[in-house]
Amino acid sequence: MLFKQRFFSWFDSYDIYDGEGSVLYTVRGQLSWGHCLKIFDRYGGEVGTVRERVLTWLPKFEMYIGDTYVGCISREFSLFRPRYNIDCRGWRVDGDFMEWDYTVTDGDGARVAAVSKELLHWTDTYVIDVTDPRDALQALMLVLAIDAEKCSRQ
């Protein structure tokens, strides 16, 4: 998947493309306390939400598919490497110092997704390589939460 932030938008807005360049998902930010990102499929149907919990010491984001809670991702205190605590299917995220490239693994250490930021673009652009297409939506939610957490710090 190719994750591209829209250049002109009042709230966070992203288009997610499949390998053929067709829009797979559209993400629209909502007016709320903290980040609230709604994910829509290519037909305009709402399929998921990433919502920031407010009044927490370190950022925490809840993920929903439809109205069903599927997990939470929160930033852990660390000095050099970004670390996240994920309460979602036993997944884990490890990244580099600049937080541009990271890997999502399952409880057995198998790769679920690899995420890399493309440089020299006007907006945030990421390539999300998901091993199993059934994990695409939840992997996208993790990328959205991590990107929103980075934006909150800046």
| Burial classification of residue 45, based on how many CB atoms lie within 10 Å of its CB (0-12 exposed, 13-18 middle, 19 or more buried) | exposed
In which domain, by residue range, is 137 found?
A: 2-153
d(CA 60, CA 35): 10
What pLDDT, in 10s, does the model give residues 104-149? 999 899 999 999 988 776 667 889 999 999 999 999 998 888 887 7
Q: Work out how many domains the chain is built from and give that number.
A: 1
- Give the pLDDT of residue 118: 80
CATH number at residue 145: 2.40.160.200
What pLDDT, in 10s, does the model give residues 22-32? 999 999 987 66
pTM: 0.83
Lowest mean pLDDT among 53-57, 79-83, 88-92: 79-83
Q: Tokens representing 16? A: 């997610």
Say if residue 154's pLDDT is above 60. no
